[in-house]
Amino acid sequence: MSKRKRKHSRMHRVPQRRPGSAPGSITVDPSASPTSIRVLAFGPDRLEERDLADVEALVQVRGNWPVTWIDVAGLADTDTIQRIGAILDLHPLAVEDVLHTHQRPKVDYYGESCFVVARMLSREEIGRGEQFSMFLGPGFVATFQERAGDCLNPIRERIRAGRPRIRGAGADYLAYSILDAIVDEHFPVLEHYGERLEQLEDAVMANPERDVIRRVLEVKHDLVSMRRAIWPLREAVNELLRDGGRLLTEETKVYLRDTYDHTIQLIELTETFRELGASLMDVYLSSVAQRTNEVMRVLTMISTIFIPLTFLAGIYGMNFDVQTSPWNMPELRWRYGYPLTLLAMALVGVGLLFWFRRLGWIGYRVSAPRE
Amino acid sequence: MSKRKRKHSRMHRVPQRRPGSAPGSITVDPSASPTSIRVLAFGPDRLEERDLADVEALVQVRGNWPVTWIDVAGLADTDTIQRIGAILDLHPLAVEDVLHTHQRPKVDYYGESCFVVARMLSREEIGRGEQFSMFLGPGFVATFQERAGDCLNPIRERIRAGRPRIRGAGADYLAYSILDAIVDEHFPVLEHYGERLEQLEDAVMANPERDVIRRVLEVKHDLVSMRRAIWPLREAVNELLRDGGRLLTEETKVYLRDTYDHTIQLIELTETFRELGASLMDVYLSSVAQRTNEVMRVLTMISTIFIPLTFLAGIYGMNFDVQTSPWNMPELRWRYGYPLTLLAMALVGVGLLFWFRRLGWIGYRVSAPRE
Amino acid sequence: MSKRKRKHSRMHRVPQRRPGSAPGSITVDPSASPTSIRVLAFGPDRLEERDLADVEALVQVRGNWPVTWIDVAGLADTDTIQRIGAILDLHPLAVEDVLHTHQRPKVDYYGESCFVVARMLSREEIGRGEQFSMFLGPGFVATFQERAGDCLNPIRERIRAGRPRIRGAGADYLAYSILDAIVDEHFPVLEHYGERLEQLEDAVMANPERDVIRRVLEVKHDLVSMRRAIWPLREAVNELLRDGGRLLTEETKVYLRDTYDHTIQLIELTETFRELGASLMDVYLSSVAQRTNEVMRVLTMISTIFIPLTFLAGIYGMNFDVQTSPWNMPELRWRYGYPLTLLAMALVGVGLLFWFRRLGWIGYRVSAPRE
Amino acid sequence: MSKRKRKHSRMHRVPQRRPGSAPGSITVDPSASPTSIRVLAFGPDRLEERDLADVEALVQVRGNWPVTWIDVAGLADTDTIQRIGAILDLHPLAVEDVLHTHQRPKVDYYGESCFVVARMLSREEIGRGEQFSMFLGPGFVATFQERAGDCLNPIRERIRAGRPRIRGAGADYLAYSILDAIVDEHFPVLEHYGERLEQLEDAVMANPERDVIRRVLEVKHDLVSMRRAIWPLREAVNELLRDGGRLLTEETKVYLRDTYDHTIQLIELTETFRELGASLMDVYLSSVAQRTNEVMRVLTMISTIFIPLTFLAGIYGMNFDVQTSPWNMPELRWRYGYPLTLLAMALVGVGLLFWFRRLGWIGYRVSAPRE
Amino acid sequence: MSKRKRKHSRMHRVPQRRPGSAPGSITVDPSASPTSIRVLAFGPDRLEERDLADVEALVQVRGNWPVTWIDVAGLADTDTIQRIGAILDLHPLAVEDVLHTHQRPKVDYYGESCFVVARMLSREEIGRGEQFSMFLGPGFVATFQERAGDCLNPIRERIRAGRPRIRGAGADYLAYSILDAIVDEHFPVLEHYGERLEQLEDAVMANPERDVIRRVLEVKHDLVSMRRAIWPLREAVNELLRDGGRLLTEETKVYLRDTYDHTIQLIELTETFRELGASLMDVYLSSVAQRTNEVMRVLTMISTIFIPLTFLAGIYGMNFDVQTSPWNMPELRWRYGYPLTLLAMALVGVGLLFWFRRLGWIGYRVSAPRE
């Protein structure tokens, strides 16, 4: 359970703020991963890729290549990140947003560049989500993620492999490609939840254990979190389409519209799954109620048959003295008293069985629950 | 159950994407049906219909007829389909959407042509749904469906029969006719679900078996899927009406408005059925609770009557030695001890029966449940 | 139940369509009522009313009177109705809508005339609803209903009685009067449902029988149907107010705004009743749960009191041989063994009763349920 | 209960209409209160207040005072009210709305005057609501209420006391003051419902009697009615603010905006209370289920302990003949047979008690329910 | 419980109004805290901070400093507060709103100044909320709070410490800083509720006591209250952004947009928590139902095993006279009668156990509930 708890807390974590602090002031998160910077600078014909130890080297890279991708993983070194912001002329408030994770996905425009925040999921670690921030400026894309490891390797490979479309296009096409990959990474994660919901639905119906509610709740929590990430993501992509005029070419916009369609599909799937999750609780309750009904029927049939019979046996177990009075239990001395009593008991029992059949309690549900 | 599982999975299947892949790149679906191409080219007076073995023959057909319908079934041969796209000047992203099924219904405009995606249902196989893609360009309509067999045969027949309205009109009228047929095919499918819901409602009330929840859930899943297809279909038809100016004549628009009305009716019916499905779960729970209550009443009445009587019988079954003390169970030696005891028992029993009648437990619900 | 079934099916009936058929083609409904045509032609000072045997006589009537009301009941004779459409220059799609009932309420404009579809209810037969179609053109109103008998007789009487307001006004005022009557006929029907809901609420609380759920569900179905008719009716009236400029005088619009207010009241009432109906299911469940609780309390009290006592009696009913050992049930031979045993039993019983009172199980709910 | 019924019926009463009647025709309500007319005419320095026996006297009053308030209570005398309408140039449809109560709150503009309908509540009689109609025209305000007695006395007092703000302002300020008083009178009524909901919440948790559902339902009905009155009231005030340009001075508009804020607060409170009311039903159900669980636990513990013990006692109550066979119940003749049996019973009982403690059934809930 | 009651009442308290009173008239709240006034007047280089005993001293302060912050705590001294309003040219209606707490958050513009109402929470006392009113005018900010003690000390410290950003900016930046601090103070409070919901979720599943519902309801009430404060707060900040043109510099607007994002995050968190709270009631019900089912299963198993066995024992406890007839219970005299009877009983018991295992009642849930 400790695992669940941790995860749950992570998903619904309330952003930490220090009320009254000045805007743009940075709070260092002690648990942040160490920062590493990799630069991919390329044009149609050439490519330079290197890890940046000293952030000042960025000054020389910038502006000398058609497209530069500054790819930062790990947010521990806030000074370096603020220095990158200064070199690239990024707005301090946006840099603050990079460092204070748990922003909602959004698009902001500052001067010539545009700032996108999204949530990056991972099909490898379901439930892991990290903040992904991206700046798109003239000739450069700067991306910031909380930890190394992401879903962008196919893009890096396409750049390295020299694919003409990505190498020949501008920074806006690179930004689109990155955003598209991040959006599409949601699909396998959602598929995972779809499968878990199917399993839970079967579990709820076959065997409504208490543990199942817990698992249903977990999936519900996760879907609520996904929803909180996906709705504003759709808005952000839409805003980019609508207002990104200066930054995006018409062709990139056509592609981005495709990404926008994907965010709508994500929303529809999330809502569908949320609805399924919600109905599972009802199914659970119905299933438990039905099982209780079956248990009760067994109890009632057994009790209804044997309690009267036991009473009958109790009658003839009384010790009234047959000697002192002829009125006292003369049956005990009849020749067929015992067999007749047994017969009466059998008749009562069989009569009750027939009654139960008429009530519909026997016949279709005395066997074990079918699977 | 395996059947249900398969179907369910199909309905909520999450689209498969390879995050980070270049836009327009095609993923081949190994389970796709083989591709067959049929061309119906016609004008008011002439008609040519043939199966196309070689896709290049399309080059000659195009442009020589007032209306050409390229009717493709099966999406396995992605090269051929991409070639058709090239011959007809279709946008690569649209062709990608044709091949990557599980798009949501939509309308996109690319240059001179317009691209419509819809979901094609079948009244023969309830629950079967496939992606239907249609391009409407100058003088041609190209349709793509996942499998052979569809609801468009009446249209083909009308063309072959030389009906003046369809033979004399342009490609836009053909496109409208196809869309209208696809929309109308939803009605018998919805009617099927309406009937199933009625049956389930009766089943839930007559006999709330656990199996019924499963069937209710299945219908709910199917209706959720239908809803996910119908809402965007309405949007798509609306967009066509609003923005299809260049492509549609005024007269076709009047007809298309009728189709739009039908999509609204579909939405209302789906929502109505969804609501009914949702309330069925409540009815189920109420029905089970009511049955449990009835079972409990039987148990309680039987127990309440016989447990005290059995206790009384137990009293006189005790073996206190009547010899050693006159205080020890003198009743056992009374002349009328036994009859009086039986009488007392009868009085207790009858008294409890009267009490139950006053409580309203007897009188209106001891018989079998009415149907 | 067969009655319910029939009704239910009628209310949610899915429109029948033949996918792929040409627009404007008429499907004959074999169960349609025979067609009768009555014409009321009038001006401020004169009035002619006659049943039309031959539809061609309409040609002479039209245009010779300030206002002509062509009042058609029964849709069996599709040829005649199509001929009326031709004489009055009605659009074929609109005439198709007249004949294919189960349209949603709407307003369409075709050239000079306007076409209104509504649902006509009847306070005499609750649950009966039929499609009412009306054309308002220059100098004429043509109405079509599925069966003879309607709520428009007061209007016919006002015309015959020569009331100046209706006789002096144009066709638009007549159309308003008809629409207003049809809207107002919804109120008594809704009132009927309001009363049924009140009765059901009392029934659910007094005696939650299973039959009650069925009746609640029936009302819910009917209200869902009413809602599906009323919402688009409001839209239609609104559209008429907004776009009916050419057809309606300013004064008629002032009156029509009143009708619009009535449709809003209808919507509010329907929603209120729907909400009440939905909460009834919860009340039912609570009521059953409460009754089950009461039944259980009785069972538990009786069992808890008598089961231990029966055990005590069982102890002294054992046959250990008091002769062979002084340890074997010496109580049986005590002088006051029996009275002491009875006393112990009484003490246990009374003690348990006090405990039940402390638990709150006795005292406020041993009597019959209050009504 | 008859009281409840009456009230309920009043709250949800469906407006009575005669479909097909001419607009503006008046239906006399036989239960209407007798009509009394009081006129308050005032300017900054002078004031005349009198009851009007003859309505024609109004002709002289009108126009001779800066502000005239015609204050009508009771709607029985429809002729007089129609005559007032004629004298003040009010539109016949508006006068019809005054007399046909159960209008929804609204604002209508007719020529120079404006017509406001609202619902007037009373903190003295919770649940009493009556229609309040007000005309604001040049130099006059005419108000109509169903019965004498209202929340407007503080305003009358302020006029009589000669407060400069109300005496010096125009008719629009008077109209605002009246509307503000009527809106504010909703607050104590809502507070009453808030308190009742708190009481019900405690009642539901302490002791979920069936009577509580009834009371919860009553509050829900009342809140539904309030909501139906308050939402359109907000709209009406908003419309007055937006379109009342000719009739309201800028200063009055500033005040009216305050009234508008109050209607929004009313809506929020009503929605909050409705939500609380809805959740009470769930709490009730949970509370009953929890109590049933507790009852069941007691039954199960008692039964589980004593039923096996009774069985043991039953064993040694059997009459197998120890004489005929040494195999027949030799225990009965053992020296310590009886004490050992009692010991065994005690061990079984104590063991079961320990098991129940491990199951968590004992220890935290054997005592009476805490309050 | 008295504590809960008090708190609850405070949260949903309905605003007290005297209907019919003149606008701008002040109702004195007898429980208001005593008023204290502190003035912080500053420019980039200088700072004056002092407590104001005499409100008239304000006249000299005003206008002599770039920014003056009049910081009022406690609303008991209504005359002083009205005098402050007069000195600063504040609108009487706004001053009335300051004193009549329980306003909803809003922004109003009066002439040159703007009036903001918000709810100020406190992380120290969860559940405490007070009205915070702020006027932003040329060169001054005036804030009013119900009690001393707030979350604004970091801002005061930043001013005293001479931080250039706040000392160099205008009154609009100060107003933004205050508003931002008040918005951000909501986050720790929401986090507190998030943690309580997690604890309650665990409590509901581990041990669904009745007390848990009460605590769930409390959190629900509090979240409803928070929601009522946060939604209009978002609107207010949005309005400030949109219409605050004259009062806010462009730079302050960029910062305020950040505050606006925070209000959206607050809304999303509140809605998420509300949803979790709502689902807890369902979980509770399911959990209770599941426990009842388990209890019933134990009862049914014990009863089903021992009731038939007790009946068997009862049979051989009957006293039929074996002497008088050979038909009377000959088993009692068999050599192996007793052992055979015990064997039969054991077989019946073991058989039933096997049946229960087949039904799935034993094996996975006889142990104590897992935690």
Chain A positions touching B337 (Cβ under 8 A) are: 320-321, 325, 327-328
**Which residues, at least 6 apart from A300, have a Cβ–Cβ distance to it below 8 Å?**
A361, B295, B296, B298, B299, B302
Which chain B residues in 188-217 lie under 8 Å from chain A, judged by CB atoms? 207-211, 213-214, 217
Chains in contact with B, where contact requires at least 3 CB pairs less than 8 Å apart: A, C
| Residue pair C223/C270 in contact by the 8 Å Cβ criterion | yes
What percent of chain C clears pLDDT 90, i.e. is strictly above it? 20
Of C154, C289, C299, the CB nearest to D19: C154
Tell me which residue in C21, C104, C303 faces B268 most closely, judged by beta carbons. C104
The answer to whether the CB atoms of E316 and D311 lie below 8 A apart is no
**Six-digit token string for B354:** 């009267």
- At residue C287, the 3 state secondary structure works out as helix
More confident residue, C101 or B67: B67
Which of chain D's residues have a Cβ under 8 Å away from the Cβ of C287? 210, 213
Contacts of D299 (CB under 8 A, 6+ apart): C296, C299, C300, C303, C304, E299
Residues of B in contact with C291 (CB under 8 A): 293
Q: Scanning every residue of chain E, which has its alpha carbon at the shortest distance from the alpha carbon of A335?
A: E325
CA C94 to chain centroid:
28
Task: Please tell me the distance from the alpha carbon of residue D63 to that of residue D56, in angstroms, as a whole number.
Answer: 14
Residue D345 · residue D316 · CB < 8 Å: no
Is B115's pLDDT higher than 90?
A: yes
Q: Give me the residues of C, 223-252, that contact B with CB < 8 A.
A: 224, 228
Q: How far apart (Å, rounded) are the C-alpha atoms in residues C91 and C95?
A: 6
Instruction: Report, as an integer, the average pLDDT of B73-88.
Output: 91
Range of lowest pLDDT (A10-14, C251-255, E293-297): A10-14
Which amino acid, E248?
Answer: L
Percent of chain B with pLDDT over 90: 21
Pick E138 or A246 by higher pLDDT: E138
CA distance E86 to E130: 24
Q: What is the pLDDT of residues D10-64, one digit of tens each?
A: 345 566 666 677 776 777 677 888 999 999 999 988 899 989 888 888 888 777 8
Instruction: Give Cα A329 to chain centroid, integer Å.
Output: 73
Whether residue A208 and residue E329 make contact (CB cut-off 8 A), yes or no, is no
Q: Which residue do the tokens 């120079």 mark?
A: D112
Q: How far is B91 from chain C (nearest CA, A)?
A: 29
Average pLDDT over residues E112-121: 90
Distance of CA E205 to the CA centre of its chain: 21
Task: Check D224 against C275: CB less than 8 A apart.
Answer: yes
Mean pLDDT across chain E, nearest whole number?
Answer: 84
Contacts of D313 (CB under 8 A, 6+ apart): C311, C314, C315, C317, C318, D345
pLDDT of residue C12 exceeding 60: no
For the residues C301-305, what does the mean pLDDT come to? 88
Q: How far is CA C181 from the centre of its chain?
A: 19
Chains in touch with D (≥3 Cβ pairs < 8 A): C, E
8 Å CB contact of E293 and A298: no
Chain B environment of A143 (Cβ under 8 Å): none
8 Å CB contact of B292 and A293: yes
Per-residue confidence band for A64, with pLDDT thresholds at 50, 70 and 90: confident
What does the alpha-carbon distance between residue C243 and residue C231 come to, in Å, rounded to a whole number?
18
Residue A147 has pLDDT above 80, yes or no: yes
Widest Cα–Cα separation across chain E: 125
CA distance B243 to B232: 16
Chain C closest-CA separation from residue D330 CA (Å) = 10
Sheet with D113-121, side-by-side order of all strands: D47-52, D36-42, D67-73, D140-145, D129-137, D113-121, D106-110
pLDDT for residue D7? 41
User: Cα Rg for chain C, rounded, in angstroms?
Assistant: 35
Please state, rounded to an integer, the average pLDDT across all residues of chain A: 84
pLDDT higher than 60, residue A371: no
Question: Above 60 in pLDDT, residue B252?
Answer: yes
Mean pLDDT of A189-206: 87
Query: How do beta strands B67-73 and B140-145 pair?
Result: parallel
Helix C171-184, helix C250-315: angle, nearest 10: 10
Q: Is C371 on the interface with B (CB under 8 A)?
A: no
| Cβ partners under 8 Å of residue E242, min gap 6 | none
Q: Strand, coil or helix: what is A25?
A: coil
Q: pLDDT tens digits, residue range B90-108?
A: 988 889 889 888 888 999 8
Given the DSSP bridges, would you call strands A67-73 and A140-145 parallel, antiparallel or unpaired? parallel
pLDDT at A117: 93
Hey, are the CB atoms on E370 and A285 less than 8 Å from each other?
Answer: no
Residue C328, SS3? Answer: coil
pLDDT at A347: 93
- For residue A216, which residues of chain B lie inside 8 Å, CB to CB? none
**Distance separating alpha carbons of residues B194 and C86, to the nearest angstrom:** 37
Q: Is the dihedral of CA D9, D11, D14, D15 positive or negative?
A: positive
pLDDT above 50 for E305? yes
Contact A14 E181 (CB under 8 A): no
- Distance separating alpha carbons of residues A152 and D355, to the nearest angstrom: 57
Report, as an integer, the average pLDDT of E54-71: 86
Q: How far does chain A reach from its first CA to its final CA, in angstroms?
A: 29
CB neighbourhood size of E267 (10 A): 16
In Å, what is the CA distance from B42 to each residue of B49, B67, B139, B158, D34?
A: 8, 6, 10, 12, 81
- The helix (run of H) or strand (run of E) holding residue A121 is strand A113-121
Lowest mean pLDDT among D201-215, D276-290, D298-312: D201-215
Nearest to A288 among E183, E283, E286 (CB): E286
User: Is the pLDDT confidence value at B24 over 80?
Assistant: no
Interface of A with E in 331-350 (CB under 8 A): 331-339, 341-342
d(CA E247, CA A370): 72
Q: Output the pLDDT for position B371.
A: 34
Residues facing residue A136 across a β-bridge: A114, A141
Please give the pLDDT value at position C3: 41
| Closest Cα in chain E, distance from residue D39 (Å) | 19
Which of B217, B224, B313 comes nearest A201 by C-beta?
A: B217
Return contacts of D83-87, CB within 8 angstroms, 24+ apart. Answer: D83/D55, D83/D56, D84/D37, D84/D55, D84/D58, D84/D142, D87/D55, D87/D56, D87/D58, D87/D59, D87/D62
Please identify among residues 130-159 of chain E the ones whose CB lies closer than 8 Å to any CB of chain A. Answer: 151-155, 158
Residues 275-294 of B with CB under 8 A from C: 275-276, 279, 282-283, 285-287, 289-290, 292-293
Q: What does residue A317 show for φ and ψ, rounded to 5 degrees?
A: -95, 0
* For range E25-39, the mean pLDDT: 82
Q: Which of C282, C303, C370 sits opposite D303 (nearest CB)?
A: C303
Select from D63, E106, E279, B14 the least CA-distant residue to A270: B14
E190 contacts A217? CB cut-off 8 A: no
Q: Do B17 and A165 touch (CB under 8 A)?
A: no
3-class DSSP assignment, residue B135: strand
- Lowest-confidence segment of A68-72, C324-328, D221-225 by average pLDDT: C324-328
- How far are the Cα atoms of A286, C284, C291, C362, D284 from residue C287, in angstroms, in the given order? 17, 5, 6, 19, 10
Which two three-digit tokens encode residue E330?
A: 């000959």
- If you measure CA to CA, which chain A residue comes closest to E331? A338
Residue B16 sits at the chain C interface (C-beta within 8 Å): no
Question: What does the pLDDT read at residue E7?
Answer: 41
Which region, left, alpha or beta, applies to residue C89 given φ > 0 means left and ψ of -120 to 50 means alpha? left
Task: Give the pLDDT of residue D363.
Answer: 60
Share of chain B above pLDDT 70, in %: 92
Residue contact B320–C322, C-beta within 8 A: no
More reliable by pLDDT, C208 or B153: B153
Q: Is C290 helix (H, G, I), strand (E, B) or coil?
A: helix
- Inter-chain residue contact E296 with D296, CB threshold 8 Å: yes
A307–chain E Cβ distance below 8 A for any pair: yes
Is residue E367's pLDDT more than 70? no
Report the gap between the CA of D61 and the closest CA in chain E (Å): 25
Q: How far is D323 from chain E (nearest CA, A)?
A: 8
Subunit contact C213:B287, Cβ cutoff 8 A:
yes
Tens-digit pLDDT profile for residues B34-61 = 999 999 999 988 899 989 888 888 888 7
Mean pLDDT of B279-307: 87
The predicted pLDDT at position E13 comes to 57
Instruction: Using a CB–CB cutoff of 8 Å, tell me whether E368 touches chain A.
Output: no
Chain B residues lying within 8 Å of A325, measured CB to CB: 333-338
Burial (CB count <10 Å: 0-12, 13-18, 19+), residue E46: exposed
From the list D165, D255, D282, the residue facing E281 with the nearest CB is: D282
pLDDT for residue D14: 64
B22/A166 Cβ within 8 A? yes
> How much is the pLDDT for C33?
87
Q: How far is D207 from chain C (nearest CA, A)?
A: 9
Tokens of C300: 């538990």
Alpha-carbon distance of B185 to C122, in angstroms, equals: 33
| Average pLDDT rounded to a whole number, residues E266-271 | 90
d(CA A28, CA A24): 12
**pLDDT at B74 > cutoff 50:** yes
The gap from C-alpha A321 to its chain's centroid, in whole angstroms, comes to 76
Q: What is the pLDDT of residue A278?
A: 83
* Residue A63, phi-psi category: left (phi > 0), alpha (psi -120 to 50), beta (remainder): left
D91, D207, D292, D293, best to mutate vs chain C, most C CBs in 10 Å: D292
Q: Could C319 and B319 be called an inter-chain contact, meaning their C-beta atoms sit closer than 8 Å? A: yes
Q: pLDDT by residue (tens digit) across D101-128?
A: 888 899 988 878 899 999 998 887 777 7
- Residues 6 or more apart in contact with residue D38 via CB below 8 angstroms: D49, D50, D51, D52, D71, D72, D73
Best probe of the B interface among C6, C205, C210, by most B CBs < 10 A, is C210
Output the pLDDT for position A13: 57
In angstroms, rounded to a whole number, what is the distance separating the alpha carbons of residues C229 and C266?
Answer: 11
Give the model's pLDDT for residue A275.
85
pLDDT given at position A24: 66
What pLDDT is recorded for position B151? 87
The SS3 of residue E133 is: strand
Mean pLDDT (whole number) for B172-187: 92
**Predicted confidence (pLDDT) per residue in C267-289, tens digit:** 988 988 888 888 888 888 888 88
Question: Looking at residue C285, what is its pLDDT?
Answer: 87
Whether D5 has a pLDDT exceeding 60, the answer reads: no
CA C26 to chain centre: 30
Considering only CB atoms, which chain C residues are within 8 Å of B286? 213, 281, 284-285, 288
| Closest-approach residue (CA) in chain B for C317 | B318
Instruction: State the Rg of chain B over Cα.
Output: 35
- What mean pLDDT is reported for chain D? 84
Q: Are A8 and A218 in contact (CB under 8 A)?
A: yes
Residue C50: beta bridge partners?
A: C39
CB of C327 less than 8 A from some CB of D: yes
